[in-house]
Amino acid sequence: MKLLMIATALTGFACADSLPLIPLPVSVTAREGAFEFSAGTAIRFDRDLKTEADLFAADLQALTGTAPKTAAEELRIFLHSEIRLDLDAAADLPAGGYKLVISPGAVVVTGKDSSGVYHGTRTILQLLPPRGAAIWKDETPARLPALEITDYPRFGWRGMMLDVGRHFYPVADIKDFIDWMAFHKLNTLHWHLTEDQGWRIEIRKYPKLTEVGAYRESSPPYGNRKSDDGVRYGGFYTQDQIREIVAYAAARHITIIPEIEMPGHAAAAIASYPELGNTDIPGYAPKVMTRWGVHPYTFAPKEETFRFLEDVLGEVCELFPSKFIHIGGDEAPKTQWRESKFAQEVMKREGLKNEEELQSWFVRRIGKFLKSKNRRLIGWDEIQEGGLDQSATMMVWRDAKWARHALALGNDVVMATTSHTYFDYYQNPAAAELAKGDEYEAIGGDLPLAKVYSYNPASVAETPAQEKQILGTQAQLWTEYAKDMKKVQYLAFPRIAALAEVAWTPHESKILDDFLSRLDGIMKHYDAGKLNYCKPAGPPGKEGRDGSRPESPVGGKP
Ligand code: ACM
């Protein structure tokens, strides 16, 4: 922290306390002087970094209004002012790491790999004044303080989960969200594509999934979750749109992990193909759900279902190159399996003691299929309730005790606990939010910025080996209360900045007040990007920003 402040003193950098960087880099050393950046500054790049150079050039053009010259390194064109993008696979850095050297004569980003270079360019963008700043309108160059940064991520999985089942967002909105993730050096978008209330991914072999399953007849309005607006609602992504989004994210070094929910949260799929459900139970009548909450419709454990799911996952694997495929597994009520003679016979045949073991049997079959496709299965922590398969990775959402259980068994985990990462919870007291209007409704809960910032995903590990089993962390954007991307932004920002620092920066380097003062600089970029973020109340250290505040009297238990 001290070094950041020295850098400020030497260069007269605009931000009062420290460099406006989030996540905080691993190490920053101040040097003397500054680099003068202007519309005339060019980009020289290693030939393997053309994508990164082109994206960076477009970002700089958005600031200055002028497309910077770009030149591959072998072109010996004289450029009087340049930012160099280099690769050094032998650099003593973890994957995704980079060094950034800013001197009066040049700026050099050297990445361990192309993602490291991309991260380095995000750091430069945070150091520059935001889009629309007065400086870009006159001829004055922007001064980048001379310094040396060595930086790399704490975790390889730095994610956001976005639920498009409850509400559906246009392609342009998803791309914009990806850009903001990249700005914070997040690298994993967990895309929750199927839900009780809507199936959102085109599957060629099963057209009714989107003809029927992508639409519901009504939704609860904001402010009255127990009622119905009576308005038909829906939408889905075509396979071409999915390819477009996956490629867009990949160029920005973000992997998209698709989630196909099973055996629960499957009402939309079962409404599309009713033969896949537990057809032998009393009153069987699946439909795409119109209310939030947990619903009883689960896939039946029959061969037809496995054929269907393998076909679906086969198409999913063709669309998404991610190593991990998420199969959901959360909140699958066992009522229908208890009532179904067929499900009970499967349990007897397979020697399964209870319905939890039936779910684990179900998950193991899907895991085998994914393995045949050279993919890894990840699921919510319920997948261990009837025995956890050795090869499964667990996404821990309910309680850290499930993480300890999985770590002890030797399984990998991703930490996504409700306590610190559920961004559908209120970030200010619920009463204060609801006083602004029904559209500020959240699911409930209480997750202020400071609490997100305090998270240590590795605290559950008891040994260094277990620490390595923690792949990383992510925040969840369940979207019952987010009808559009503006509301998603309001829930996500600025908590996403805290999450980014949790996932990237060494835990021992995190200081809340310092983060909050750097956030002031980052919020100028949010303002410039017209991001609809939730403004933290009061100055750093005051009530509302340090996490101490009155009990929230409104808002149900999520
Ligand atoms: C979850 O919140 N049901 C994973």
CB distance 238 to 171 below 8 Å? no
Residue 418 lies in a domain: yes
State in Å: Cα 394 to ligand 1 middle: 13
Checking if the pLDDT of 164 tops 90, the result is: yes
Domain count, the chain: 2
Give the residues surrounding ligand 1 with Cβ less than 6 Å away: 330-331, 380, 397
Question: Both 458 and 518 in a single domain?
Answer: yes
pLDDT per residue as tens digits for the range 327-346: 999 999 999 999 999 999 99
State in Å: Cα 397 to ligand 1 middle: 7
At 410, phi and psi to the nearest 5? Answer: 95, 5
Q: Which protein residue's CA is at the shortest distance from atom 2 of ligand 1?
A: 397
What is the atom index within ligand 1 of the atom nearest the CA of 476? 2
Checking if the pLDDT of 480 tops 60, the result is: yes
CB distance 427 to 534 below 8 Å? yes
The least confident of 9-23, 105-119, 306-320, 334-348 is: 9-23
Question: Both 489 and 431 in a single domain?
Answer: yes
pLDDT above 70 covers a percentage of the chain that reads 93
The least confident of 145-154, 298-307, 321-330, 545-554 is: 545-554
The least confident of 50-54, 307-311, 547-551 is: 547-551
Q: Which protein residue's CA is at the shortest distance from atom 1 of ligand 1?
A: 330
Question: Both 140 and 228 in a single domain?
Answer: no
Q: Which of 241, 237, 217 is nearest to 228 (CA)?
A: 217
State in Å: Cα 217 to ligand 1 middle: 24
What is the atom index within ligand 1 of the atom nearest the CA of 416? 4
State in Å: Cα 422 to ligand 1 middle: 9
State in Å: Cα 263 to ligand 1 middle: 14
Give the CATH number, domain containing residue 421.
3.20.20.80
Checking if the pLDDT of 476 tops 80, the result is: yes
Give the global pTM: 0.94
Question: Both 213 and 87 in a single domain?
Answer: no
Checking if the pLDDT of 77 tops 70, the result is: yes
- Provide the pLDDT for residue 538: 52
What is the atom index within ligand 1 of the atom nearest the CA of 395? 4
Where a domain ends, among 121, 151, 181?
Answer: 151
Checking if the pLDDT of 291 tops 80, the result is: yes
Range of the domain at 123: 7-151
Checking if the pLDDT of 234 tops 70, the result is: yes
Where a domain ends, among 133, 151, 169?
Answer: 151
Half-sphere exposure of residue 180, counting CA atoms within 13 Å on the CB side?
28
Residue 1 lies in a domain: no
- Provide the pLDDT for residue 12: 37
- Provide the pLDDT for residue 80: 84
Question: Both 163 and 40 in a single domain?
Answer: no
State in Å: Cα 427 to ligand 1 middle: 19
What is the atom index within ligand 1 of the atom nearest the CA of 422? 2
Residue burial 377-408, b: 16+ Cβ < 10 Å; e: rest: bbbbbbbbbbbbbeebbbbbbbebebbbbbbe
State in Å: Cα 215 to ligand 1 middle: 22
Question: Both 344 and 246 in a single domain?
Answer: yes
Question: Both 517 and 474 in a single domain?
Answer: yes
Checking if the pLDDT of 548 tops 80, the result is: no
Residue 405 lies in a domain: yes
State in Å: Cα 348 to ligand 1 middle: 29
CB distance 422 to 446 below 8 Å? no
Residue 31 DSSP label: E
What is the atom index within ligand 1 of the atom nearest the CA of 478? 2
d(CA 209, CA 340): 24
Find all residues with CB under 8 Å of 247, minimum gap 6, and list them. Answer: none
What is the atom index within ligand 1 of the atom nearest the CA of 265? 3
Residue 300 lies in a domain: yes
Residue among 420, 478, 557 whose CB has most ligand 1 atoms within 8 A, to mutate:
478
- Provide the pLDDT for residue 544: 42
Residue 236 lies in a domain: yes
Give the CATH number, domain containing residue 27.
3.30.379.10
Question: Both 116 and 164 in a single domain?
Answer: no
Residue 541 lies in a domain: no
Question: Both 117 and 171 in a single domain?
Answer: no
Render 245-274 in DSSP notation, one character per residue.
HHHHHHHTT-EEEEE---SSS-HHHHHHSG
| Residue 416 confidence class, pLDDT cut points 50, 70, 90 | very high
**Average pLDDT for the chain:** 93
Question: Both 127 and 169 in a single domain?
Answer: no
Residue 350 lies in a domain: yes
Where a domain ends, among 111, 136, 151?
Answer: 151
What is the atom index within ligand 1 of the atom nearest the CA of 331? 3
Residue 411 lies in a domain: yes
Question: Both 135 and 248 in a single domain?
Answer: no
Checking if the pLDDT of 11 tops 60, the result is: no
Checking if the pLDDT of 14 tops 60, the result is: no
Q: Which of 232, 223, 237, 335 is nearest to 290 (CA)?
A: 232
* Span 115-129, average pLDDT: 98
Question: Both 277 and 426 in a single domain?
Answer: yes
